[in-house]
Amino acid sequence: MARLPVSRTLDAILAVAWAPRCAACDDPLEHPTEGVVCGDCWRRVRCIEAPFCERCGVGLAEPAADRVCADCDRTGGPLTARRAAGVHAGPLRGIIHAFKYEGRRSLARPLAQLVRSVTGDWLQGADIAVPVPLHALRRWRRGFNQADDLASHLGIPVLPALRRKRHTGRQVALSRAGRLSALGDAFALAGRSRGRSTVAAIRHRSVVLVDDVITTGATVEACAAVLRRAGARKVRAVSAALAVAAR
């Protein structure tokens, strides 16, 4: 993209006067007008391009005949198929951390753009994007829900169809089974969303759940179960990052 002389000049002034640093790697930003993360960090994001497992979303070393990884071939894989733009490591981890915990909400747009460029074929087949909700208390403390922000830039209608009933706390220390049971009844359908009955808006629709990071997938499965009970025709999940090592 050709850069306007005015933004080049502005970059030079900002770089000296304000000395902003990249929100992910902390190096000085050469082009502050282009965003809070440097071009180098964006270029170094490890995207999960084909071939990848069509159930759990992990990248595959080589194409598999049935397009699933060995794990999913053996176990059937997760009930809800998932995909992510990249691996939750390196620069992507830093970018998401800045977005979520340092209030860098301007990162929602480029992150969503990354999700669109990698998982666009899935998004095109979906009728509605449903963000994974935060508990009201956490939403209030953070000031925003990162999944809402991401979903709003995916180019499909967003329906805040779910609410989080319980404040489940941090699940990091729990095993996969522990997380699944801890989250079993944590989510419910919102009575109404965007002024209409949520059930009517969900029924027979193809839904894509949106979260910033998918770790064990327990959250995604708990949310998907609620949407399926409400009559969704198909539920899949996309996220900016997949925490592969935590599986």
Residue 183 CB, nearest approach to Zn ion (Å): 21
The answer to whether residues 135 and 96 touch, using CB atoms and an 8 Å cutoff, is no
Q: Does 69 bind Zn ion (CB under 5 A)?
A: yes
Q: Does 72 bind Zn ion (CB under 5 A)?
A: yes
Q: Does 45 bind Zn ion (CB under 5 A)?
A: no
**Degrees to nearest 5, angle at CA 172 with 145 and 162:** 35
Q: Does 220 bind Zn ion (CB under 5 A)?
A: no
Q: Does 225 bind Zn ion (CB under 5 A)?
A: no
How big is the site for Zn ion, counted in residues (CB under 5 A)? 10
Q: Does 159 bind Zn ion (CB under 5 A)?
A: no
- Which one among 41, 186, 201, 242 touches Zn ion, defined by CB under 5 A? 41
In the shown chain, the binding pattern of residues 9 to 28 toward Zn ion, with x for contact by CB under 5 A and - for none, equals -------------x-xx---
Round to whole Å and give the CA distance between 179 and 175: 6
Closer residue to Zn ion in complex, CB, 41/147: 41
Q: Does 82 bind Zn ion (CB under 5 A)?
A: no
Closer residue to Zn ion in complex, CB, 69/150: 69
Instruction: Write out the residues near Zn ion by the rule CB under 5 A.
Output: 22, 24-25, 38, 41, 53, 55-56, 69, 72
